[in-house]
Structure 1
Amino acid sequence: MPTVREIEQALFDWAPKELAADWDNVGHLLGGPGDAVSHVLVALDITEEVADEALDLGCQLIVSHHPVMNCKWLPVQTVREDRPQGRLLLKLLRNNISAICMHTNLDAAQGGVNDLLAKALHLADPVPLHESGIGRHGTLAEPMALLEFVRFVRRTLGCSGVRYAGAGGLVSHVAVGGGACGDFEDDAIAAGCDTFVTSDLSYHQFLDAAGKGISLIDAGHFPTEDLICGEIVSYLLARFPELTVTKSASHREVIQYYIEGE
């Protein structure tokens, strides 16, 4: 059986650590490097539900996209059982479940989050959007009306709902950014894109979009990134045929949209 260390190295072969943003925390974050692994659970986030799922399945390792600890938005200052993060970390540690997290390095890597998102939305010849390697932009085979493209995005990514605003008109040259890539809006404009698909956009970005000549589509953080999980499963099975690798069934979109009449 491979060890946690060997699986981490295989994942770094795909998404080198050097591609990660300087604020990010990627790689093997929890558990013993030399621990043997027979069953891996793959999820976008490591939640308590995902930890319980790993326990039920008898997994020794969880591989996730979002880091379980020491990120800029959730620094670890304490590990206390009466607090959500501490309770999660203690559950993993007490049950000898390791965690490997591949975040912005897997956003930038070839075949990673953004290449998969570009492929799902049928962008031809996608190229990096930002100098970091994060984001992609390319063209549609046939231009589409904005509302038609919004429907296509929602259906393709399985979104609970989609927020959009902007210039209207035909959609032809599209930028994509899995997760919260609103900071790359100016890069999309500079690249000549008429539409940008990402998530976690602000009110003021929507307000100003038409004046900037671009349409913005917020398809949600989970829907724009969860497609990487299936790819991680396939990659690990190809590298380690002796492993059992399972995509999480418990982790799903948490944001729901109320629609009058439903």
Structure 2
Amino acid sequence: MIIKEIIEVLESFAPLEYAEDFDNVGLLVGDPGKELSGVLIALDTLEAVVDEAISTDCNLIVSFHPIIFGGLKKLTGRNYVERVVIKAIQNNIAIYSMHTALDNHFDGVNARICEVLGLQNRQVLIPRKGSLKKLTTYVPLKDAEALRMSLFNAGAGHVGNYSHCSFSSSGTGSFKGESDSNPTLGERGKLHEEEEIQLHITYTRDLEQKVLKALFDSHPYEEVAYEVITLDNTYQRIGMGMVGELNSPMEEKEFLQFVKERMNCGGIRHSELLGKEVRKVAVLGGSGAFAIDAAKAAKADFLLTGDIKYHQFYQAEGKMVVADIGHYESEQFTKNLLAEYLTKKIPNFAVRLSEINTNPIKYF
């Protein structure tokens, strides 16, 4: 097995198209064509993690956070980022990052927090815009069903809990093949009219290449007429954060103690308690202050996230409690999620969890 094959498995779960535009995801260091000796999964790629990969004969580190975020203009070992990259290259170790591709996944980072806390009826807190596209094409009546099924098999036509969704209308298409054409129907140089189906079908943008390949492979015409547009529709399967409900309501202090124990928090900073029961909870792994307004709009009683600044606690405005449980703490179970997925997909290959605690924040 080569590194590229593991990458394909990872991206079948969390496509890089899910990642935010500002992010730096994918293979950051290394040759995808190298033979794979072992996979080490970590939250962060630090020097100690590279040393761990060397000692355990793992030449691929799958890291949640990207070690390279901004541009690297020099590699002189002057900071921890450059030292990690140099050591990885010297020891032929590849580094792959998932980050916001996994943040935006419905069964990703925030889903795991919901599982740990036992939250039910979960929904995406901030659905990602531009995740849905619509394909419109025109096909002869006799070929319409075969084309439709080919597009379904490529993953198009999923709407919420439904699959095989499409819409079609009939009409008459016209065309005339020029001198270099090789028309499937009609004759070169003569105007031809054909009873056609106009087919509309939606898909998520990560499937675009696969869907268009299915279109071109299955369409009978030499030149395929088609249109692709990006939809503004909300898509509830991709986006940041999640909101869910507790099985049974809790008092606020009881809930904070519950979260502290389940999430292994050294401490929880929070806005003013409101003296009401906690039923609905919003979560967002990592730095989630940007989700405060969305959590209020969802009528959450609590928002659990990390990296909240002083003035951002005021944004709770007495409508909910904002709780900073720590950046690392909110994402700590991510590596378990990845290890479980890879072990399930490639059960005969060793996947190791890093034993290095990469949390830079300590509690006194």
Q: Tell me, yes or no, whether TM beats 0.5.
A: yes
Q: Does 1:236 align with 2:232?
A: no
Q: Secondary structure at the match of 2:55?
A: helix
Q: Does 1:76 align with 2:72?
A: yes
Q: Secondary structure at the match of 2:281?
A: strand
Q: 1:141 aligns with which of 242, 247, 252?
A: 247
Who is 1:47 aligned against?
46
Q: Does 1:3 align with 2:2?
A: yes
User: 1:143 offset after TM fit, Å?
Assistant: 1.2
- C-alpha deviations, 1:134-159, integer Å up to 9, x for none? 10001111111111111111100111
Instruction: Look up the equivalent residue of 2:67 and give its one-letter code.
Output: V
Which structure has the larger Rg?
Answer: 2
Q: Which consecutive segments of 4 or more residues in structure 1 shift more than 6 A?
A: none
Structure 1 or 2: more helix by fraction: 1
Who is 2:87 aligned against?
91
Range with greater deviation from structure 2 (248-257 or 51-60)? 248-257
Instruction: Look up the equivalent residue of 2:327 and give its one-letter code.
Output: H
User: 1:212 offset after TM fit, Å?
Assistant: 4.2
For 1:30 and 1:171, locate their aligned partners in 2 and report how far apart those are by CA, in whole Å: 45
**TM-score, normalization: structure 1?**
0.93
Q: 2:299 aligns with which of 182, 192, 202?
A: 192
Alignment of 1:18-167 (within 5 A): 18-69=17-68, 71=69, 74-132=70-128, 133-167=239-273
Q: Contact 2:306–2:326 (CA<8 Å) still a contact in 1?
A: yes
For 1:128 and 1:8, locate their aligned partners in 2 and report how far apart those are by CA, in whole Å: 26
Who is 2:286 aligned against?
179
Q: Does 1:215 align with 2:321?
A: yes
Q: Contact 2:46–2:80 (CA<8 Å) still a contact in 1?
A: no
Who is 2:277 aligned against?
170
For 2:27 and 2:52, locate their aligned partners in 1 and report how far apart those are by CA, in whole Å: 20
Q: Contact 2:3–2:35 (CA<8 Å) still a contact in 1?
A: yes
- C-alpha deviations, 1:173-227, integer Å up to 9, x for none? 1100011111011000111111100000011122342x24110111111111110
Q: Secondary structure at the match of 2:89?
A: helix
Q: Which runs of 5+ in 2 are unaligned?
A: 129-238
Q: Contact 2:2–2:35 (CA<8 Å) still a contact in 1?
A: yes
- C-alpha deviations, 1:21-69, integer Å up to 9, x for none? 0111111111001011131110000011111111111111000100111
User: 1:241 offset after TM fit, Å?
Assistant: 2.2
Q: Secondary structure at the match of 1:12?
A: helix
Q: Contact 1:167–1:213 (CA<8 Å) still a contact in 2?
A: no
Q: Secondary structure at the match of 1:66?
A: coil
Q: Contact 2:339–2:353 (CA<8 Å) still a contact in 1?
A: yes
User: 1:162 offset after TM fit, Å?
Assistant: 1.3
CA gap of 1:151–1:252, structure 2 versus 1, over 3 A, is: farther
Range with greater deviation from structure 2 (93-102 or 80-89)? 80-89
Q: Contact 1:32–1:98 (CA<8 Å) still a contact in 2?
A: yes
Instruction: Look up the equivalent residue of 1:206 and give its one-letter code.
Output: F
User: 1:75 offset after TM fit, Å?
Assistant: 3.5
For 1:26 and 1:176, locate their aligned partners in 2 and report how far apart those are by CA, in whole Å: 23
Range with greater deviation from structure 2 (161-170 or 95-104)? 161-170
For 1:185 and 1:45, locate their aligned partners in 2 and report how far apart those are by CA, in whole Å: 26
Structure 1 or 2: more strand by fraction: 2
Q: Contact 1:49–1:251 (CA<8 Å) still a contact in 2?
A: no
- C-alpha deviations, 1:71-105, integer Å up to 9, x for none? 2xx44232112332111100000100001100101
**TM-score, normalization: structure 2?**
0.67
For 1:172 and 1:193, locate their aligned partners in 2 and report how far apart those are by CA, in whole Å: 8
For 1:212 and 1:25, locate their aligned partners in 2 and report how far apart those are by CA, in whole Å: 37
Instruction: Look up the equivalent residue of 1:99 and give its one-letter code.
Output: I
Who is 2:173 aligned against?
none
For 1:36 and 1:212, locate their aligned partners in 2 and report how far apart those are by CA, in whole Å: 56
For 1:146 and 1:109, locate their aligned partners in 2 and report how far apart those are by CA, in whole Å: 29
Alignment RMSD, CA only? 1.3
